Structure 1
Amino acid sequence: MNDVTERQTAPVKEKRLPLLQMLLVSFQHVLLMYGGAVAVPLIVGQAAGLSREEIAFLINADLLVAGIATLVQSMGIGPMGIRMPVMMGASFAAVSSMVVMAGMPGVGMTGIFGATIAAGLFGLLIAPFVCKIVRLFPPLVTGTVITAIGLSLFPVAVNWAGGGSGTGQFGALPYLGVAAAVLAVILLINQFMRGFWVNVSVLVGMALGYVLAGSLGMVDLSGISAAPAFQVVTPNHFGAPQFLLAPILSMCLVVVIIFVESAGMFLALGKITGQEVDPKQLRRGLLCDAGATFLAGFMNTFTHSSFAQNIGLVQMTGVRSRYVTAIAGLFLISLSLLPKAAFMVASIPAAVLGGAGIAMFGMVAATGIKILQEADIGDRRNQLLVAVSIGLGMVPVVRPEFFAHLPHWMEPITHSGIAVATISAVSLNLLFNVLGGPERHALTGANH
């Protein structure tokens, strides 16, 4: 039996790795999620017409809250934190709403932050009730949702591998070559090495890809000298938050969607790590999401949630320790205080991330397919549930404008393939298996 199979079938143990290995594996998590963490403040800051210095401050604020939230989610504090290897960051679910708010007269950044605070409070109030939905996620639904998560992330990896959306020569051979080199290194390490090297295979692949990309002139370090060496994020940097009804209602809807997505991702991570996610654990995880969002509004940043791409890294490396993500949270906090260091991480070319993303996001989809084997996937109605839910989940990915004529308030749902797939899978399971009677309920896999 090869090393990869051994890692996947061995019992999961909560353990602390040797210090060097722990640091390297933790830094892998930071590198993977960093692009997503800075993308939201970049988009919203540009929509609001902020200066480059103000956008840089937004990014540092996001890194700080993401680090704190990751620490809480990984280790737990009081009633918050699912105590699993989870990375947190600014959620894309709210981007479209916040871009609209940024351009509304009398709203701006302070209105966005006020809506974020109110939405966080709303999330804290509803989390104890939402956590009960765990019973609606038998293996049939969970496997479908996890597969949809992996597939919905593939366009991100492909965009990275082609050079990123900002390049004028998308798909140029140098970009494809760098992405292919990173992917090849990861695959070769997993095939021919074991232990420490497998655990840090993504980091090694990205490091070599960074060197290769630098030799091809893809690494841009211009402006690093202008960045301050040290900067502390201060609350309410842009002024006192404004609490306006329309933005608050919009952001509260976003929190509901974040909860749906997070529930699916927590259950996915539970399957990968071999831990059962019960309603109590799910409540702790959702409370952390909401608490991070509440804090974010005061600290000049936005709604926060767990990052799906890091679930793929947990599966890819086989390192399932929450201590790893806790240290990654400390890395994020450090980067928020050291703008020059954050600048260096941000200089990683998209093609380097693309090579790693193809492997890791595919692992998420493969995990979903494996979980589906626990359900009666031979049943025609269950096959239809999987087919329709994954198909609907791909709609926002393939054609984001497909739902453009639906009401604006639905955008947080219709722009999220994960949310669409989750709602479809839960609804069809209720129709086919729960309302169909006890004999149909057994086919969901819930009693396996």
Structure 2
Amino acid sequence: MAGDANHTDTAERPARTDGGEETPTDGPTADGGEESSLITYGIEDRPPFAQSLGLGLQHYLTMVGANIAVPLILAGAMGMPDQFVPRFVGTFFVVSGIATLAQTTLGNRYPIVQGAPFSMLAPALAIVGVVVANPPGGGVEAWRAALLQLQGAIVVAALFEVAIGYLGLVGRLRRYFSPVVIAPVIVLIGLTLFTAPQVATATQNWPLLLFTFGLIAAFSQFLGDRSRAFQLFPVLLGIVVAYVVALVLSAAGVYAPGTPGFVDLVPVVEAPLAVAIYPLQWGVPQVTTSFVVGMLAGVVASIIESLGDYHAVARLSGVGAPSEKRITHGIGMEGLANVFAGLMGAGGSTSYSENIGAIGLTGVASRYVVQVGAAAMLVVGFFGPFGALIASIPDPVVGGLYVAMFGQIVGVGLSNLKYVDLDSQRNLFVLGVSLFAGLFVPEYFGNVAAAAPDGVGGAAFFAQSMAAVPALGPVLGADVVANTVFVVGSTGISVGGIVAFTLDNAIPGTDEERGLAEWAETAEADEDFASAYDRFVRAD
């Protein structure tokens, strides 16, 4: 087991509450990690409430694009009537707030925002497509029937995630995840949105995107030492300034309606003031076995991504790599949050990479900050105009944010290679092949989906294609196998992680060569992490 018995929990370090500067250090921290000189607020620090509220809002602004995109994509695929969309979007924010509070308080206790996962979007769209194409009748609208089937699949698949997490199955694999495996996983997390329409659409408003990115870069990299506001709020300031500019240009007629950069405030004015959000608000979830199996593939992809997120946030927060115990409680809590998301009618819940990038840019790794932001999101989720206002942020502004945030995450992934022997041919082979596989395999499955005839989903078309292969047909042609392979194969993080894990543990290499020896010196030991049971039950 990594670490030693002399480590002390980071919770024992007095929390900062005065808003003062953190003393820069580059030496080992109390828990065996390396504290970064860029950390302004550590995990246990508690900035003043007003400052924490702004910092928490900033954390959430980094993920609003994704947390708005997922419900809007699902609503469009289901054909959900417009009057229900604000409530549907608000549900995702309420679930995000509660899931984040649960994870930061009772789960892994890392400052990671929880939100709607893209890794579960592919099976969700497949479920919706099947139900909408074959509505059940009996007076139940097709969109509601699709949503209830989606809820049932998420709840049952999440129960498996709860078992996988709390039984420690993922945590026990931790010893097999060297920096050679974790580095490409985190890099691929950072590369997930390089093809997103907010970044690479053919009609992109490049001046506004580059203006947004330039603001964030200027505030975080060039002006941070001139003003504490620039140092702490580069993302928030960048988005607000870019949004105001886009709003002015839209009002002046420079940006026409329907063009990238146009800000439409009509939906904000017309949104209901309050929306009722509660469990089973859409009805009782329905369970279909084939849909559950497809969603399980999305859950597996989500777990792999979360494992990379845990290592990334630990690295940025200046603490040791997560222990088996912390991983166990983190994945288990994500499973419970997914069960809750399914009961509420959201599209799932997982750790969000976006706010990890914000930690890298701002140096704010405070758990308290994320909890304050989560509480705020929980409240405003019931406020209709808020969701509409967030949805009005133009895609080029979101694109500029993505370039800054996800570029930062790529850098964090590469920084894990400091522990690895980069003169080793086997390490370079594992890194190169896993990164390449994480890019080309999803591209292949994307092309398969694009080639599918109308009315035939990507997974179904893949199954049909594989059924014609003499040796593989009986296996890959089966719906259950095809759905799993298609969903996992469409997720670059999963592909890269599986390939890196397999090659790194199959190809001979010493612990020193793979970075395990040096990493073990800074890794967190199980006794360093106090779970909710340790703190609230055993303490009594």
Q: TM-score, normalised by structure 1?
A: 0.90
**CA distance in 1 between partners of 2:377 and 2:224 (Å):** 29
The alignment status of 1:324 with 2:369, answered yes or no, reads yes
Whether the 8 Å contact between 1:375 and 1:444 is mirrored in structure 2 is: yes
**CA distance in 2 between partners of 1:49 and 1:368 (Å):** 39
Question: Aligned to 1:46, which of 73, 76, 79?
Answer: 76
Question: Aligned to 2:171, which of 131, 148, 152?
Answer: 131
Secondary structure of the equivalent of 2:194? helix
The alignment status of 1:224 with 2:268, answered yes or no, reads yes
**CA distance in 1 between partners of 2:104 and 2:314 (Å):** 13
Q: Residue 61 of structure 1 aligns with which residue?
A: 91
Secondary structure of the equivalent of 1:302? coil
The alignment status of 1:270 with 2:314, answered yes or no, reads yes
**CA distance in 2 between partners of 1:278 and 1:149 (Å):** 21
Cα 1:98/1:192, change in 2 over 3 Å: closer
Question: Aligned to 1:141, which of 173, 176, 181?
Answer: 181
Whichever residue aligns with residue 37 of structure 2, its letter is T
**CA distance in 1 between partners of 2:189 and 2:51 (Å):** 28
Whichever residue aligns with residue 421 of structure 1, its letter is G
Shift, 1:225, TM fit = 2.7
**CA RMSD across the alignment:** 2.2
Whether the 8 Å contact between 1:161 and 1:352 is mirrored in structure 2 is: no
**CA distance in 1 between partners of 2:445 and 2:208 (Å):** 28
**CA distance in 1 between partners of 2:429 and 2:501 (Å):** 13
**CA distance in 2 between partners of 1:403 and 1:136 (Å):** 33
Whether the 8 Å contact between 2:70 and 2:121 is mirrored in structure 1 is: yes
What whole-Å deviation, never above 9, does each CA across 1:87-133 have from its counterpart, x for those lacking one? 11111122222222223234622111111111111111111212222
The alignment status of 1:384 with 2:410, answered yes or no, reads no
Whichever residue aligns with residue 123 of structure 1, its letter is E
**CA distance in 1 between partners of 2:410 and 2:365 (Å):** 18
What whole-Å deviation, never above 9, does each CA across 1:18-66 have from its counterpart, x for those lacking one? 3332222211121111121122222222222210122322211111111
The alignment status of 1:115 with 2:153, answered yes or no, reads yes
Q: Residue 280 of structure 2 aligns with which residue?
A: 236
**CA distance in 2 between partners of 1:143 and 1:293 (Å):** 27
**CA distance in 1 between partners of 2:487 and 2:223 (Å):** 44
Q: Residue 205 of structure 1 aligns with which residue?
A: 238
The alignment status of 1:446 with 2:516, answered yes or no, reads yes
Shift, 1:399, TM fit = 5.4
Deviates more, 1:5-14 or 1:345-354: 5-14
Shift, 1:348, TM fit = 0.9
Cα 1:201/1:399, change in 2 over 3 Å: farther
Whichever residue aligns with residue 150 of structure 1, its letter is G
Where in structure 2 are the equivalents of 1:92-107 lying within 5 Å?
A: 92-102=118-128, 103-104=130-131, 105=134, 106=136
Where in structure 2 are the equivalents of 1:339-358 lying within 5 Å?
A: 339-358=384-403
Question: Aligned to 2:350, which of 305, 308, 311?
Answer: 305
Question: Aligned to 1:187, which of 199, 206, 217?
Answer: 217
Secondary structure of the equivalent of 1:447? helix
Secondary structure of the equivalent of 2:115? strand
Whichever residue aligns with residue 135 of structure 1, its letter is R
Q: Residue 421 of structure 1 aligns with which residue?
A: 496
**CA distance in 2 between partners of 1:308 and 1:75 (Å):** 19
Larger Rg: 2
Runs of at least 5 residues in structure 1 that lack an aligned partner in the other structure: none
Whether the 8 Å contact between 1:258 and 1:305 is mirrored in structure 2 is: yes
Q: Residue 37 of structure 2 aligns with which residue?
A: 9
Secondary structure of the equivalent of 1:303? coil
Q: TM-score, normalised by structure 2?
A: 0.75
**CA distance in 2 between partners of 1:191 and 1:85 (Å):** 26
Whichever residue aligns with residue 313 of structure 2, its letter is L
Secondary structure of the equivalent of 2:516? coil
Q: Residue 479 of structure 2 aligns with which residue?
A: none
**CA distance in 1 between partners of 2:365 and 2:162 (Å):** 28
Whether the 8 Å contact between 2:185 and 2:305 is mirrored in structure 1 is: no
Cα 1:399/1:327, change in 2 over 3 Å: farther
What whole-Å deviation, never above 9, does each CA across 1:359-405 have from its counterpart, x for those lacking one? 22111111111111211121011001111111111125655524653
Q: Residue 457 of structure 2 aligns with which residue?
A: none
**CA distance in 1 between partners of 2:62 and 2:441 (Å):** 23
**CA distance in 2 between partners of 1:377 and 1:153 (Å):** 27
Deviates more, 1:50-59 or 1:62-71: 50-59
Whichever residue aligns with residue 111 of structure 2, its letter is P
**CA distance in 2 between partners of 1:219 and 1:415 (Å):** 33
Deviates more, 1:96-105 or 1:31-40: 96-105
**CA distance in 2 between partners of 1:412 and 1:328 (Å):** 32
Whether the 8 Å contact between 1:120 and 1:290 is mirrored in structure 2 is: yes
Cα 1:10/1:176, change in 2 over 3 Å: closer
Deviates more, 1:8-17 or 1:220-229: 8-17
**How many residues are aligned here?**
427
What whole-Å deviation, never above 9, does each CA across 1:250-269 have from its counterpart, x for those lacking one? 22222122111111111111
Whether the 8 Å contact between 1:110 and 1:241 is mirrored in structure 2 is: yes
Whichever residue aligns with residue 247 of structure 2, its letter is G
Whether the 8 Å contact between 1:206 and 1:352 is mirrored in structure 2 is: yes
Identity of matched residues, %:
28
Cα 1:444/1:202, change in 2 over 3 Å: same
Secondary structure of the equivalent of 1:337? coil
Q: Residue 150 of structure 1 aligns with which residue?
A: 190
Shift, 1:202, TM fit = 1.1
Whether the 8 Å contact between 2:63 and 2:355 is mirrored in structure 1 is: yes
**CA distance in 1 between partners of 2:123 and 2:185 (Å):** 24
Whether the 8 Å contact between 2:443 and 2:490 is mirrored in structure 1 is: no
